[in-house]
Structure 1
Amino acid sequence: MSAGKVVLALDGMGGDHAPDVVVEGANIARERYPGTTYLLFGDPARLKPLVDRRKGLAQVLEIVPAEDVVTADDKPSLAVRRRRKSSMWLAVQAATEGRADSVVSAGNTGALLAISMFSMRMVTGAHRPALASFLPTRRGEVVMLDLGANVECDAGNLAEFAVMGSVFAQTLLGLDTPRVGVLNVGSEELKGHEEVRQAAAWLRHEGSPINFHGFVEGNDIGTGVVDVVVTDGFTGNVALKAIEGTAKLYSSFVRDTFRTSTFAKIGYLFAAGALKKFQKRVDPRRYNGGVFLGLDGICVKSHGGTDALGFAYAIGVANDLVRYEYKNKLIDGLAKLHQVTSTTEPTPSALQASGGAE
């Protein structure tokens, strides 16, 4: 665990409900993480009244003026070229220059990734960043990456993502040796395209820095059979949206069922306690805080539409990644991975197998 206070840079103007949600989220986090202080970037005329209304917040938070804002419609390239005086850019810059240990933003995802890559660059041993977050399972939580930063990935990228996800799970979930699986169309070793099979070959090789389980399928994500699920950004984003959509569908089914009759409404009164526990278990705010892993710095992306409690959870993710030295562990893991990949012959492309599911 790192010594001393943690300083977090917050994009005060990023997100659907900024700056109110950002300020209230920092106030909630202030009580949870008494050793953390904040640099809040944005319009002082809007931020100062919000901060002053919350007793004690001004003692741990400094407002840093920013005259511009990255909008939800800004293309990443535009944000990099023309938004250098924005709250997002200045918050990332503070983390890059060491004035803050991490940056948290609920703003435009593509712009945040582009600005962070331009400013922070990649950590030693990583070639592409991966967006990672975690989801509830029957056994606890599962880390999943990439969730959309890279549409296409080669075997080397997937292997690096596996190390990133493993270190992320160690840091946030407190697991000594997280079980890592690569998402595929089947669990057999010869299933899938060449990139996933080559990545798997490296990850199961002697000397691999992770606890590799093997291939997993889509229906394994929620069972908790592994602690980390690795895939490319296209597949990961589709899987995530499908999971979120299914969760909302079943929640609406439950609500509608209890409205069908008087007896159903009475039944709801008896089941209310259990339903509240269920709602808390799947509350998306508890899992808010995606991270761009692989950057030479810590950048946490909050969901743009979250509320203050959700933003406080994103702050908690940033706080833990700093305190438990995620970056140093990642550099060490990537170095061990590249020792394996540089001394191991690639899987022969002649071993083509069916890519179809059974």
Structure 2
Amino acid sequence: MGGDYGPSVIIPAAISALQQHSDLHVYLVGPQQEIQSHIKNTRPYTDRLHIEPASEVIGMSEKPSAALRRKPDSSMRKSLELVRDGKADACVSSGNTGALMALATVLIGTLPGIERPAITAELPNRKGSVTNMLDLGANIDASAEQLTSFAVMGHVLSELADGINNPRVALLNIGEEAIKGRDSIKLAGDMLSNQSQIDYVGYIEANEIFDGNVDVIVCDGFTGNNVLKACEGITRFLYNQLKTEFTSGLWSRAVSALVWPLLKRFHRRINPDQYNGASLLGLREIVIKSHGSADSNATLFAINKAITEIERQVPQAIQDRVAQLLLSADNED
């Protein structure tokens, strides 16, 4: 029920996912009549598409504390309860990020050794691969210990999701020099430098995010969320400007016929929709946050991301890896 478009976008994405995956079951959670009004021909999927009634909806501007206390029958809560109770393997939501994080932390809980979950997403880079960046909004502030745990989780996710052996991990900072940055960043740098199980390569500046020289970028949620939204805005600005230039006159339109295939490939490569689906890492189960403005295609990417994490058992792998790293740190001490 969340996001800018609600069922009109989420239900077609769910149907597309059912078409792609013959063994997939989907629960649509929300007011039953409203959901059914958006469902048309689902006869081929009647045994795999389920409606879970919920009488309440958490608004996009509601405070997480209010969502926790005042809406026990919200679609978001009931979705997470399905995962908690083992009826579903993952939750995908386009709703209120703060409420999703708060409810997921309370209902599902964090993994042993993880103080706070973090939101992570993939960013394209110029080497043709992706870079995982976290946190993207779950924690406005982050201590050195939390930044270090984000690095561990990003390291594991990069290994599992991207197949990268010994991922390179960096802290986002205002400079590469050791004396720069907040105390929490400098202390996290010291802690990661002493962690032999992670390939920590130091600080990275924002203008290097897309170079592809690191596989995991770690920052607090305030910084990460602003960086992500600025990148999305710049991407759409550049694409729209190019379209305007190539349609502004007769000569431009003639040239555009030649370069349009290149422009389309460029757009596919950098389109934020295909990177939609941010993982709430550090939870005991899989929770994926879809962008609030995502269309059906972008929402499908988020659903497929959840399926990938189910298949690769990401929470269990993070738990095992964190336990190994904590044991290694104790032995080094």
Same fold (TM over 0.5): yes
Q: Report Cα offsets for 1:211-237 as digits up to 9, x if no partner.
A: 222221111101111111101111111
- Specify the code of the residue in structure 2 equivalent to 1:89: R
Greater Cα offset, 199-208 or 310-319: 199-208
Of the three residues 22, 31, 53, the one matched with 1:65 is 53
Q: Which of 317, 322, 325 does residue 310 from structure 2 map onto?
A: 322
8 Å CA contact retained: 1:166, 1:178: yes
Query: Which residue of 255, 275, 294 corresponds with 2:282?
Result: 294
Match of 2:174 in 1: 185
Q: Secondary structure at the match of 1:59?
A: coil
Deviation at 1:309, TM superposition (A): 1.1
Query: What amino acid maps onto 1:273 in structure 2?
Result: P
Structure 2 residue aligned with 1:263: 251
1:204 Cα deviation after fit: 2.8
Separation in 1 of the partners of 2:279 and 2:256?
38
Q: Is the 8 A contact 1:68 1:87 kept in 2?
A: yes
Which of 74, 96, 102 is matched with 2:62 structurally?
74
Q: After TM superposition, list the pairs within 5 Å mapping 1:91-110 onto structure 2.
A: 91-110=79-98
1:4 corresponding residue in structure 2: none
Distance 1:31 1:178 in 2: 34
Q: Is the 8 A contact 1:52 1:58 kept in 2?
A: no
Secondary structure of the 1:222 match is coil
Match of 1:195 in 2: 184
Which range moves more in the overlay, 335-344 or 322-331? 335-344
* CA distance 1:90–1:197, shift in 2 (3 Å): same
Quick check: 1:163–1:334 contact (8 Å CA) kept in 2? yes
Superposed displacement of residue 170, structure 1: 2.2
Q: Is the alpha carbon distance of 1:78 and 1:206 closer, same or farther for their aligned partners in structure 2, counting shifts above 3 Å?
A: closer
Contact 2:115/2:146 (8 A) holds in 1: yes
The alpha-carbon deviation at position 46 of structure 1 amounts to 2.4
Does residue 45 of the first structure (1) align with residue 50 of the second (2)?
A: no
Question: Aligned partners of 2:158 and 2:109: how far apart in 1?
Answer: 23
RMSD over aligned Cα atoms = 1.8
Paired residue secondary structure (1:223) = coil
Give the deviation of 1:313 after TM superposition.
Answer: 0.7
Higher mean C-alpha displacement, 155-164 vs 70-79? 70-79
Deviation at residue 53 of structure 1 after TM alignment: 1.6
- The range that moved more, 240-249 or 292-301, is 240-249
SS at match of 2:51: strand
Which residue pairs with 1:353 in the alignment? Answer: none
Q: Indicate how the Cα distance of structure 1 residues 113 and 123 shifts in structure 2: closer, same or farther if over 3 A, else same.
A: same
Render the CA deviation track for 1:266-307: whole Å, top value 9, x for unaligned: 111111111111111112210110111111211111111211
1:153 maps to what in 2? 142
Counterpart amino acid of residue 160 in structure 1: S
Partner of 2:299: 311
Determine the C-alpha separation between the residues in 2 that align with 1:86 and 1:129. 22
Quote the residue 1:163 is aligned against. Answer: 152
Using the size of structure 2 for normalisation, the TM-score is 0.94
- Alignment partner of 1:36: what SS? coil
Cα 1:181–1:230 shift into 2, 3 Å: same
Secondary structure of the residue aligned to 2:106 is helix
Report the CA distance between 1:340 and its aligned residue. Answer: 5.1
Does the aligned pair in 2 maintain the 1:202–1:340 contact within 8 Å? no
Q: Which amino acid aligns with 2:207?
A: N
Rate the CA distance shift 1:300–1:260 in 2: closer, same or farther, 3 A.
same
The residue identity in structure 2 corresponding to 1:33 is H
Q: Please show how residues 219-230 of structure 1 align to structure 2 within 5 Å.
A: 219-230=207-218
Matched residue type, 2:296: A
Aligned residue number for residue 85 of structure 1: 73
Distance in 1 between residues matched to 2:105 and 2:22, nearest whole Å: 30
Q: CA deviation at 1:166?
A: 1.5
1:298-323: per-residue Cα shift (whole Å, max 9, x none)? 11111112111111111111111111
Aligned pair partner of 2:196 in 204, 207, 230: 207
Matched, 1:231 2:219: yes
Q: Give CA-to-partner distance per residue, 1:43-101, whole Å, 9 cap, x none.
A: 22222354442342322111111111111222111111111101111001111121111
> Could you tell me how far 1:259 is from its partner in structure 2?
3.1
CA contact (8 A) 2:232 2:272 kept: no
Structure 2 alignment gaps of length 5 or more = none
- Once residues 143 and 206 of structure 1 are traced to their aligned partners in structure 2, the CA distance between those partners, rounded to angstroms, is 20
SS where residue 56 of structure 1 aligns?
helix
Q: Residue type of the partner of 1:88?
A: M
Whole-angstrom distance in 2 between the partners of 1:200 and 1:57: 50
The aligned amino acid for 1:275 is: L
**2:232 match:** 244
Native 8 Å contact 1:160 1:337 kept in 2: no
* CA distance, structure 2, for counterparts of residue 177 and residue 325 of structure 1: 19
Alpha carbons 1:180, 1:213 under 8 Å: kept: yes
CA distance in 2, matches of 1:337, 1:154: 19
Deviations 1:247-268 (A, max 9, x none): 2222232122223321111111
